[in-house]
Structure 1
Amino acid sequence: MKLSDFKALTFDVYGTLIDWESGMVAGLKPLTDKVSQPLTRDKILEAHAYYESTTQRWTPAQKYSELLPVVYRRLAEEWGVEVTWEECQAYGFSVRQWPAFDDSRSALAYLKQHYKLVVLTNTDNLSFQGSNARLGVHFDGIYTAEDIGSYKPADRNFDYMLETLARQGIQKGDILHTAESMFHDHVPANKHGLANCWIYRRHSKEGFGATMNPGDLPSYDFRFNSMSDLVATHKAELEE
């Protein structure tokens, strides 16, 4: 199997192209600065992962920018901090400010020459619009949790993507699902029979950070530590 075997790359965005962990930690700083107990970066991210995934499971149709304020409030309650709803809402609006990884923009510009680029994201349309501006590429398909009414790893999100792409002549075998999160993306990619590429942004860190532990690790067809590594491998294939 080679990267050049595929016609479309379907991306998770947050954690893969957008450095959501840095964005989260920065956005939560007004809250974590008030916490008396010591909190490591990973403890913050792991707590966030729990409340985010739990809230997504309970209210799957809620927009991400409206769901994050609930996460903020749950974290404040766990850490014994008083917050206003306005503070919670400010965190929900912060997604548009989360930074892109340094290599994302240039990698996408290169890959756009060789593939259709598609987004399957757990965010809402307005939040993603801000992130898309940071990525600087026109995606051929943008499928948000707001569009679908549920959050990954739900089957519904992948069924929607596959059905929509099939109408455009892109079949399952044409797709390489490209993502960082084992929990949100690679477990369901395995379940749906999709070829998958793990962008292991956390390769130098322990644990799963801002995503839930997936349990038994799913299989993957490719693994790169960055988007630039993926691009380098694709270029090497073409040279051969």
Structure 2
Amino acid sequence: MTWPKAITFDCYGTLIDWEGEIQMIFKEILERNGVKNVDVVALQRHWENIQFDYIQNQYMPYKEVLRNTLPMAFNYFGYPFTEEDSRYFAESMGEWRPFPDTIDALLEIKKYTKIALLTNTDDSIIEETVSRIER
């Protein structure tokens, strides 16, 4: 078999557990603010719709998108949050964990060809993510 010169992957949602990590952070924020037993899947999906609409407007760094859209989603459901919670969410993305099989799969592919990650997020976020998944 002839391998291609490189293989590209979308990073968030393909290699990094985008939905699971957002849900975990939302649950953590809610519990810190005294709210339990919330459907974090519904909250995450609502937030995702909000942020998708939000990024259709003027460009802004993705950390700013994260910081500005958390309040919109939480307010919709009447969930409490603080300014620090919004900052925490915005700063967390580079630390989101990969799916369990991601690192081993990338290491195997790397034996045969180059790997390139694609993302429409900030350079600083992808750099932090890459540093966490590289070995």
1:12 Cα deviation after fit: 0.5
1:65-105 alpha-carbon deviations (Å, 9 max, x no partner):
11101111111210113433222111100112211112111
Q: Distance in 2 between matches of 1:115 and 1:97?
A: 26
Aligned residue pairs: how many?
134
Say which of 73, 76, 81 aligns to 1:75.
73
> Residues 35 and 79 of structure 1 are in contact (CA less than 8 Å); yes or no, is this contact kept in structure 2?
no
SS in 1 for 2:55: helix
Structure 1 or 2: more helix by fraction: 2
Structure 1 residues 41, 73: closer, same or farther in 2, change over 3 A? closer
SS in 1 for 2:97: coil
Q: Partner letter of residue 46 of structure 1?
A: R
SS in 1 for 2:56: helix
Q: Flag the structure with more relative contact order, 1 or 2, with Cα contacts below 8 A and sequence separation at least 6.
A: 2
1:27 aligned residue: 25
> Residues 5 and 113 of structure 2 are in contact (CA less than 8 Å); yes or no, is this contact kept in structure 1?
yes
- Structure 1: unaligned runs, 5 residues or longer: 138-240
RMSD between superposed Cα atoms in Å: 2.4
Q: Partner letter of residue 123 of structure 1?
A: T
1:126-162 alpha-carbon deviations (Å, 9 max, x no partner):
111221122116xxxxxxxxxxxxxxxxxxxxxxxxx
1:124 Cα deviation after fit: 1.0
Q: Distance in 2 between matches of 1:76 and 1:121?
A: 26
> Residues 27 and 40 of structure 2 are in contact (CA less than 8 Å); yes or no, is this contact kept in structure 1?
no
Q: Partner letter of residue 99 of structure 1?
A: R
Query: Where do 1:65-144 residues align within 5 Å?
Result: 65-136=63-134
Q: Distance in 1 between matches of 2:100 and 2:129?
A: 13
Q: TM-score, normalised by structure 1?
A: 0.50
SS in 2 for 1:119: strand
> Residues 31 and 76 of structure 1 are in contact (CA less than 8 Å); yes or no, is this contact kept in structure 2?
no
Q: Distance in 2 between matches of 1:105 and 1:42?
A: 25
